[in-house]
Amino acid sequence: MQGDLPGAPGDSCPAVSHPLLKRQLDSSTVIEDQSRADERSVRTAPSRQDIERDFEKLIEQRKLFGAELNPTIIKKSGKGTRFLISAVPSRAKLLKRWAILFRNAISPCALFEALSARTHEFEHRENLLLFGKDRVIYDTQILQGEESIGELTLSFASLADPMLGVLAYLKGARLRIVYIEHIHLTTQRSGYASTLFRYYERLFRDLGFNQFRLSAALSVGKYYWAQEGFDFSDKSEIGRRKGDLRALIKERSLPVREVEIGRLNHAYDFARFKRDLRIFAYRNAEGFYSLKRDEHFREEVSLPLGKAFLLSSAKWEGYKTIYTNTPRRTGFVTSSEYLLHRTRAGHPENPGRLRTLLRAVRKHGLRSSLVFLEPYLPDLEFLEGIHEAEYLARFRESVRSGAKEYSTRDCSICPASFEIALLAAGGVMAGVDAVLNGRVDNVFCAVRPPGHHAGRGSTMGFCFINNIAVGAIYARTVYGVERIFILDWDVHHGNGTQEIFEEDPMTYYCSIHEHPTFCFPGTGRRMERGTGAGTGATLNLPLKPHAGDEELMETFEKEVVPAIERFEPGLIMVSAGFDAHSWDPIADLDLTEKSFAYMTRRICELADRLCGGRIVSVLEGGYDGSSLASSAMVHLKMLQGRSQECSLERG
């Protein structure tokens, strides 16, 4: 295709004219200089005249054409997107397509230079921008010196977001997608693809594209793309992959428990699964893998279970969220199954709380800017390291027997309560996974029932399993996070969390709550500072009834901030109850959304400085629907790094 085109006359595109991407393109557009270039500031977007001039330059250089997608035309060696070069569209169509896809945030020459950035000793030649009816295509040969070692095709499109609906699409709310249509290298090239696409991820994030999408077809790609954070586009694929993995485990009698398979909810999880358990796979002459030896797949290779499984699996369509229209990428863990924990009529902790919160997420337009994550059921044996086994057994038996409450009248239950309480803890574990493996910067776990009153062997205050304690111990056990700071700003003292960690010097528990003389559960006095080795790792900050925003913020700044700075955590976790709001019916503090915005902003600043921004926030209380929704929205927006203050809003 491209080889038949005559050489481009005149000079190549000039140095980048659009300063938005100066930090990607300076230093001769060599990717190794990214860290130095990233320090440069963002300036103004190009004018319409700049964009038109760049179109003319690219057309003159024979680097810009039209393209017709045509299934009868096979590109190059029969791989990748099928298209046929056609005449250049009208200038009006070029401008319209550019505005839709790139929102005029960058000029065409600047984009061309950015896409062509030299990576190590590799460079792009014979590269083109092609304008189709509904997308723009970038197509190039990849050379190492004078040797052609591969080819790459990307396309850019704008699609309706099914989460937002047709009306939002007509109003301009669209997902902008970068399709990795085709990448082919003749041999493995010392991390070229990884370096290039991490650079592209920064580039397209700055341009506001929402997702990468691809087909993970090549053998190595099935594993590589999962390692890079791509997930299955078709969520039903996860169930099919789990079924195939179960069959492999049974066939080879591998020591893997069902609960471990149950935690697999992302392609990344499969890639990293059971890295300490190696199995044999078989490779053919072309570098493809199979789990069965035959006349083609002869070379025996020992690989970790997850890697062997993915390398040998069928191809899959994948996507990766690269931009969420916010400075920080915030995860959001929830599930409709949390609504199945039904409490008796009139109970404050009821499914309506979560429904109200989820409606607010839609109303505030956050569905397109949050990374939605699925919870999973945790291993009961793991939970028995946090709660007494007998306690969990009694809880399960109470549910199975049809009891209406467990242990106390506060703790109303139904036939689904045991499993949903486990799923709430698993939701926090899923949030920890996402933060600590880098899929998101921070996360809010919208789970129920809440957990901070649940002790090792006791339930109270609507809580059965201590969700945040489960998450903290999981982060330490699985990811090796040593120092964890738990901040609890629920209006009620988190007596269960304090009990679980009171002897642990590596987990700092800090609670701001209404004074225990006036408020449930009657614990959380300043004199309670931990016990044994954990003495000094507990900080209780009781506030008098009707304390407001100013008193809260003064206490936070004088006591919480220094405590976090001294402790230097590797992870900050938040028991985020919103029942200290003045509208909440079951306590007597008089906070507004201002306090929750302030506390969230400050912990984000501290996390950025101390622990790479890693925050796992977990829903606890909040029993007035309006204030729960408005406070949680402020919290989410501050986690995302939005600068604007969020107004008080009922409904």
Q: Which residues are catalytic?
A: 453
Q: Is 561 left (phi over 0), alpha (psi -120 to 50) or beta?
A: alpha
**Pairs from 407-412 (Cβ < 8 Å, separation ≥ 24):** 407/458, 407/459, 407/460, 408/459, 408/460, 410/460, 410/461, 410/462, 411/459, 411/460, 411/461, 411/462, 411/463, 411/464, 412/343, 412/344, 412/347, 412/349, 412/462
Distance CA 537, CA 532 (A): 10
Distance CA 361, CA 491 (A): 23
With contact defined as beta carbons under 8 Å apart, do 537 and 530 qualify?
A: yes
| Residue where the block lists tokens 């791989």 | 79
Which three-class secondary structure state does DSSP give residue 254? coil
**Residue of 400, 424, 403, 402 lying closest to 349 (CA atoms):** 424
Q: What's phi and psi for 490, nearest 5 deg?
A: -60, 145
Which three-class secondary structure state does DSSP give residue 80? coil
Q: How many CB atoms lie within 10 A of CB 247?
A: 10
Those residues whose C-beta lies under 8 Å from the C-beta of residue 491, and which sit 6 or more positions away, are 513, 514, 519, 577, 579, 580, 584, 587, 589, 621
Distance CA 374, CA 431 (A): 9
Distance CA 491, CA 62 (A): 66
DSSP, residue by residue, 148-182 = EEEEEEEEEEEEE-TTT-HHHHHTT-EEEEEEEEE
Distance CA 471, CA 618 (A): 9
With contact defined as beta carbons under 8 Å apart, do 49 and 149 qualify?
A: no
**Residue of 227, 212, 264 lying closest to 242 (CA atoms):** 264
| Residue where the block lists tokens 């409490």 | 343
Task: Give percent helix, percent strand, percent coil of the chain, each to the nearest 5.
Answer: 40, 20, 40
Which three-class secondary structure state does DSSP give residue 257? coil
> In the structure encoding, which two tokens stand for residue 201, read together?
């991820």
With contact defined as beta carbons under 8 Å apart, do 318 and 216 qualify?
A: yes
List 174's β-bridge partners, or say none: 160
